[in-house]
Amino acid sequence: MHTSNNITDKGASVQPVFKMHALNNVRGKLVLQKTEKGAHEMLLSYIQRFSSKSLSEWEKDQIRKACKIKLLRRRQYLLQQGDICKCVGFIIQGATRMYSINERGQEAIISFCVEEDWVADQESLALQLPSLYHIEAVEDTVMLLIPLSHLQLLSAIVPTVEQMVSINYRQQYIATQKRIHAAISMTAEEQYLYMLTCNPEYMQRFSQNMIAAYLGIKPETLSRVRTKMDH
């Protein structure tokens, strides 16, 4: 794994590359600082689940320095098609969707993300190629962004982060396999039931049209499936 020359041991540290932009009023700045502090604590709590050994204060400090808070309004983009994905986002509050649009203007939703999910175009991130997808906030969303280079550095110096990244990649691969299997072998009704079993909160967070685009079926087909199940 790539490491930076300025981080070789615990005598070194992640250099914070982000600075909070000044807001127009002091109150707004204090609110944003409070939000950032709470976001950091949520991320640290999440990372801690991946190890029985407590994170040291030094490790926590490195994680905090690597992050930048990001506030997205509903329908605002984190990434647009053609951009290169350079960061991963950890959702503190809100929801996003990653989708593409074909030549007929039809949307295909690749994934939904909600609280405590990591959001990024993994192909664009890993290969540093233009993304094929849009990542859009479906609700007003608060997240922490970590540049790829910083995530790699954290993985090198904080063992719990390395373990978290490894487990998340494995879980994502398994989830992708299951989605492909569902798409090619399940009926529309079976796909819907499978989604309800795995992610029941999606029905409250995303519109019926979005759910249909996620399942790869027409909205009217989803409507018929839901009507049938209600009876």
**CATH number assigned to the domain comprising residue 126:** 2.60.120.10
Average pLDDT over residues 67-92: 97
For the record, the structure tokens of 104 come out as 């007929």
What does the pLDDT read at residue 34? 64
Domain count, the chain: 1
Q: Residue 199 domain-assigned?
A: no
Q: Which residue is associated with the tokens 């503190």? A: 92
Average pLDDT over residues 58-87: 97
- Alpha helices, H only, the chain: 26-48, 57-66, 122-127, 148-157, 159-185, 188-198, 202-205, 208-215, 219-230
Question: Which pTM value belongs to this model?
Answer: 0.84
- The lowest-confidence range among 14-18, 81-85, 130-134 is 14-18
Q: Residue 193 domain-assigned?
A: no
Q: Residue 144: which domain range?
A: 26-158
Burial of 193 (0-12, 13-18, 19+ CB in 10 A): middle
What does the pLDDT read at residue 33? 65
- The lowest-confidence range among 83-97, 125-139, 192-206 is 192-206
Q: Residue 148 domain-assigned?
A: yes
Q: Residue 15 domain-assigned?
A: no
What does the pLDDT read at residue 103? 87
Q: How far apart are CA 3 and CA 146, in angstroms?
A: 15
Residue of higher predicted confidence among 52 and 22: 52
- Exposure of 137 in the CB half-sphere (CA atoms within 13 A): 21
Residue 52 has pLDDT above 80, yes or no: yes
What does the pLDDT read at residue 22? 39
- Name the pLDDT band for 31 (thresholds 50, 70, 90): low
Phi, psi of 8 (to 5 degrees): -125, -25
Residue 113 has pLDDT above 70, yes or no: yes
What does the pLDDT read at residue 199? 92
Average pLDDT over residues 197-213: 94
**If we measure between CA atoms, which residue out of 50, 37, 86, 39 comes closest to residue 158?**
50
Q: Residue 230 domain-assigned?
A: no
Residue 66 has pLDDT above 60, yes or no: yes
- Asked if 83 and 160 touch (Cβ cutoff 8 Å), the reply is no
What does the pLDDT read at residue 5? 32
What are the b/e assignments for 213-226, b being 16+ CB within 10 Å?
Answer: bbbebeeeebeebe
Q: Residue 216 domain-assigned?
A: no
217: helix, strand or coil: coil
Percent of the chain's residues with pLDDT above 70:
85
Q: How far apart are CA 124 and CA 128, in angstroms?
A: 5
For the record, the structure tokens of 201 come out as 């909160």
- Asked if 131 and 81 touch (Cβ cutoff 8 Å), the reply is yes
Q: Residue 217 domain-assigned?
A: no
Q: Residue 225 domain-assigned?
A: no
β-bridge mates for residue 100, sequence order: 108
Between CA 48 and CA 54, with CA 49 as vertex, the angle to 5 degrees is 40
